[in-house]
Structure 1
């Protein structure tokens, strides 16, 4: 199975920019790039910060654009989103308790989409109601599972970023620990950084967004860090006994060379480009 992971698309009013970049234009560039290389993907998931300010027009535009997109798509919300506004536009993604949570059965396992947003803060929360919902979903089905969420559920060790991580991360990891043998992978966003690690023994990855990028500046202890690194999306491949995850920097505009044959016999000083 092939799955596309996008995060932090930060849509804004048409023509408006963030960091000198147009989020709507970059999102559409990402979609074109995905269709060119990955039209055979089974599912695309966007893990939050769909809108930069939670504006209704952003959600209406996104819903209309995705309705034309040939790959099935599911969404989570993030700290920049407004839950009530989003659900007014996409009521089909509401769980009975009012959070933006749900499941989807893919050929690689049951996908579980989590809502880690909390009003009036950039930090993530996963309250008792949401914890109970996740426990129920992981208990009622044999799995395997893929989890999708916005906030990072483990520390990055970047001081400003960790102030706005999932603040209930320890409790969340306890839930994951209880079901770790049936959770194949956890995908998250929020950090605008390529990250890989594990949560209670379960592999987890994140990536840059489709517009502006962060930078792991460990010497900065007060403010979040930004950079002009290329825009990106993720591609995950699931085999029977492995998961491979790529971050595709579709915003890169430099040369891409094809050089170096995989045939060892062709590796020599005369034929190799150096």
Structure 2
């Protein structure tokens, strides 16, 4: 099984621009994903779908997704607006006011969580959301499960993007997931970079954005003294492919940019490829 993920699209950052930079980057990424062989089973869009929470930007996002060849599913981030999202994407299911729902795609189950906390840049996960997650996990303790959300619960090391373990929402989420042996991985966005962590024993990965990326700067930051450090950089738009091999989820990251091919599978390299397959036991 192959799952595609894009995140932090931030449509509407240039609200009056018909050729918006972020839309161009999104279109290139979707074109790349639509050309894959095999196609992914589904596409996850993991929050900060738009930049200012406005209806028009959600409409442009829906337009960009029209005709995409596989089903797509969304989570919300801190730049999103629940009411405006629901107006444009009514097929998405809200539970007690939160965009939390289950996706079943044999042989996996995905649980999409809502970590949007209005007024916060960082995440949130209240008792209502936790009760929903606990109920879903209690219903099925066997099916391999992926948690999908916008905010990663780990401390990434980039000071202005950090989440710290003392945050109440992190502790509440950790309590829900403790001892859940069938939860294999959590996939997130928000950091605008590829990163991975063994958070409380659970693999958590973040995917780079289709919008520009966050600069990799670990130096301590003084909130009262701007130091001209880079915050956002124009690295290429990117995506993740999560491959379920029957035992574990393996994540690959790639960009949607053109690259120079240095070798192809031709007659010269056929013996090497055949030899590599010959080394493996039959399946």
TM-score range, shorter chain: 0.7 to 0.9
SS of the residue corresponding to residue 263 of structure 1 reads helix
Residue 49 (structure 2) aligns with: 50
Q: In structure 2, what is the Cα distance between the partners aligned to 1:24 and 1:42?
A: 24
Residue 272 (structure 1) aligns with: none
Residue 243 (structure 1) aligns with: 249
Residue 226 (structure 2) aligns with: none
SS of the residue corresponding to residue 216 of structure 1 reads coil
**Residue 77 (1) aligns with residue 76 (2):** yes
Q: In structure 2, what is the Cα distance between the partners aligned to 1:135 and 1:107?
A: 21
Shift of 1:170: 2.2
Q: In structure 1, what is the Cα distance between the partners aligned to 2:247 and 2:144?
A: 12
Q: In structure 2, what is the Cα distance between the partners aligned to 1:246 and 1:155?
A: 21
Give runs of aligned pairs for residues 62-141 of structure 1, distance below 5 A.
Answer: 62-141=61-140
Specify whether residues 194 and 164 from structure 1 end up closer, same or farther in structure 2 by C-alpha distance, changes over 3 A only: same
Per the normalisation by structure 2, the TM-score is: 0.84
Q: In structure 2, what is the Cα distance between the partners aligned to 1:166 and 1:133?
A: 22
Contact 2:101 2:112 in 1 (8 A): yes
Aligned length: 261
SS of the residue corresponding to residue 70 of structure 1 reads coil
Q: In structure 2, what is the Cα distance between the partners aligned to 1:182 and 1:165?
A: 23
Per the normalisation by structure 1, the TM-score is: 0.87
Give runs of aligned pairs for residues 159-198 of structure 1, distance below 5 A.
Answer: 159-162=159-162, 167=167, 168-179=169-180, 181-198=181-198
Of 240-249 and 216-225, the range deviating more from structure 2: 216-225
Shift of 1:165: 9.1
Contact 2:156 2:163 in 1 (8 A): no
Residue 255 (structure 1) aligns with: 260
Contact 1:14 1:24 in 2 (8 A): no
Q: In structure 2, what is the Cα distance between the partners aligned to 1:222 and 1:50?
A: 30
SS of the residue corresponding to residue 178 of structure 1 reads coil
| Structure 1 ranges of 4+ moved more than 4 A | 163-166, 259-262
Residue 216 (structure 1) aligns with: 216
Residue 158 (structure 1) aligns with: 158
Of 25-34 and 65-74, the range deviating more from structure 2: 65-74
Q: In structure 2, what is the Cα distance between the partners aligned to 1:14 and 1:43?
A: 31
Cα deviations by residue, 1:219-252 (Å, 9 ceiling, x for unpaired): 152478222222100111101112221111113x
